[in-house]
Amino acid sequence: MINKIVSSTKEAVADIFDGATIHISGFGEAGSPIELIHALIDQGTKNLTIVSNNAGSGNVGLAALIENNQVKKIVCSFPRTAISVVFPELYRKGEIELELVPQGTLAERIRAAGAGIPAFFTPTSVDTPLANNKETRVFNGKTYVLEHALKADFSLVKCHAADRYGNLIYSKTARNFGPIMCMASKTSIVQAKKILEIGQIDPECVVTPGIFVKRVVEVSNPADESLLVAEKRRYPWK
Amino acid sequence: MAQKVALDIHDGAYVNLGIGIPELVADYIPEGREVIYHTENGLLGMGKVAEKGSEDFELVNAGKKYVTAIPGAAFFHHADSFAMIRGGHIDICVLGAYQVSEEGDIANWSTGDANDVPAVGGAMDLVAGVKTVFVITQHCTKTGESKIVKKCTYPLTGNNVVSRIYSNLAIIDVCDKKLFVKELAPGVTFEYLQEKTEASLFNK
């Protein structure tokens, strides 16, 4: 019998190892798997490379993981937000490494990794500092930059509902990087607001087919990051 | 400026509006035109900003503001969203800028200041892939320097990509790596405009 459901966030992240590369879904708070990230803080693994669109807000979720000195490097398109304090401080001190990637290139590098494509040429970033020292090639008179697939050992993803096969559906713009991160990581770990019975998700509506999912844990009442940030909460909770 | 941009957005256009001033364009679309807004975090058919009290934390725009979705909207993942952008499916994007050059180069993601945390978001993908790139900007900086320059001194977002500039002084077209003045703001003469512009301007 196939059953990808695990009973706790603690169990879900238990095998994440030192030095792992981890994809973390989310566009700001929308789709950020905050309970899985907090479980990873409790677990304590260090020297992580995190691939995520942003670098966290306030002192919870991804920002708290960085603040807890577990992150060596972040691969990111937009690490600067109004309430992002932890990352900018470490970055200015030179204590965390940043690989800045245009958002569409970030998405395509992740998608490519999941689709078995090692590299691709893109028109994005040609003649800009982000294309420095990268191979270029001209197709039909236009210049393109070579970008490489970005795979991960693990991904932490938030979705709306899942079944025991790992089929997933998402909620609105919280979908963002979730589907491609599930595809591109060896072990995709998903927190779902609801676990449904097999057959309850219409096959026409499945967004991430279960083959791309390794583990699912139910988090029925996930925290709203912006509320935690507004209340100046810190993880670990005090 | 936002009103002028809105007049140039055709019925049926798929449009991506940058964060800030470009967002105002949506308020000025003439009645009778149906325009579909794309936001790069995975929504076609973005509606107005959500009303206070009915915000949905899972429904945001590229600026992470709480928004709404219109009937007929579609959600999709990030790789599809940027396929729409890079694949040339979006008709128009409207962006702000630090500088635009006379060849249509744009700098709008970094001032190059080493103290700033660099952040690029979707800007480079938008200018590389969207069919028509409109820039909406003040003509000069707060300290009076021209933002329309011979060559961008800030780090580039893209090369030879801007179609038209809407400033508080004029509307300027970029054609064959030259700047042609399309329309002057009320009370502005061509000579005054040239005086305020580092790049060379041509009369259409």
pLDDT tens sequence across A100-112: 999 999 999 999 9
Q: Which helix (H) or strand (E) holds B148?
A: strand B148-149
Closest residue in B to A129 (Cα) is B155
pLDDT at B114 over 90: no
**In this structure, are strands B178-184 and B170-175 parallel, antiparallel, or unpaired?**
antiparallel
Q: Is B168 within 8 Å of B93 (Cβ atoms)? A: no
pLDDT at B116: 87
**Interface contact B58-A31, CB threshold 8 A:** yes
Domain covering A18-117+151-230: architecture = 3-Layer(aba) Sandwich (3.40)
Give the C-alpha separation, A188 to B17, whole Å. 33
Q: How confident is the model at residue B204 (pLDDT cuts 50, 70, 90)?
A: confident
Which amino acid type is present at position A37? Answer: I
pLDDT for position A158: 98
Q: How many CA atoms lie within 13 A of B131 on its CB side?
A: 10
Q: How many CB atoms within 10 Å of residue B200?
A: 10
Spatial distance between the Cα atoms of B162 and B134, rounded to a whole number of angstroms: 6
| A163 contact B CB<8A | no
The mean predicted confidence, pLDDT, of chain B is: 96
Q: Is the peptide bond before A236 cis (omega within 30 degrees of 0)?
A: yes
Could you give the percent of chain B with pLDDT greater than 70? 100
Q: Contact, A223 vs A235, CB < 8 A?
A: no
Q: Which residues from chain B sit within 8 angstroms of residue A128, using beta carbons?
A: 124, 155-159
Residue B115 has pLDDT above 90, yes or no: no
Query: With 80 as the cut, is the pLDDT of residue A81 above it?
Result: no
Q: Is A198 helix (H, G, I), strand (E, B) or coil?
A: coil
- The CA distance from B156 to A125, in Å, is 9
Is residue A122 less than 8 Å (CB to CB) from chain B? yes
**A18-43 pLDDT tens trace:** 999 999 999 999 999 999 999 999 99
A103:B82 CB<8 A:
yes
Q: Give the phi and the psi of residue B83 in degrees, each rounded to 5.
A: -65, -35
pLDDT tier, B198 (very low <50, low <70, confident <90, very high otherwise): very high
The alpha carbon dihedral of A27, A159, B36, B46 has a sign of: negative
* CA gap B14, B39 in Å, rounded: 10
Interface of A with B in 167-226 (CB under 8 A): 170-180, 207, 224-226
Name the residue ranges covered by the structural domains of chain B.
Answer: 2-203
**Residue in the block written with tokens 């001209």:** A138
Q: What single DSSP character describes residue B185?
A: P
Concatenating the DSSP letter of every residue in B60-126 gives B-TT--BEEEEEEEEE--HHHHHHHHHTT---EEEE--SEEETTS-EE-S----TTSPP--TTHHHH
Interface mutation target, options B66, B110, B117, B156, chain A, most CBs of A under 10 Å: B117
Cα–Cα nearest to A83, from A230, A223, A224, A222: A230
Q: Is A135 in CB contact (< 8 Å) with chain B?
A: no
B79 neighbors B119 (Cβ within 8 angstroms): no
Residue B60 contacts residue B46 (beta carbons within 8 Å): no
From chain A, the residues in CB contact with B43 under 8 A are 172-173
Q: CB–CB of A104 and B129 under 8 A?
A: yes
Residues of B in contact with A101 (CB under 8 A): 120
Q: Say whether B79 and A27 touch across the interface (CB within 8 A).
A: no
Return the residue of B nearest to A224 by Cα.
Answer: B57
**What mean pLDDT comes out for the span A134-160?**
98
pLDDT of B179 above 90: yes
Confidence class for position B78, pLDDT limits 50, 70, 90: very high
The answer to whether A190 touches A217, Cβ cutoff 8 Å, is: yes
Angstrom distance (rounded) from CA B179 to CA B203: 9
Task: Kindly identify which residue of chain A lies nearest to residue B128, measuring between CA atoms.
Answer: A124
Q: Where are the alpha helices (DSSP H) in A93-234?
A: 103-115, 178-184, 225-230
- Domain B2-203 belongs to what topology? Glutaconate Coenzyme A-transferase (3.40.1080)
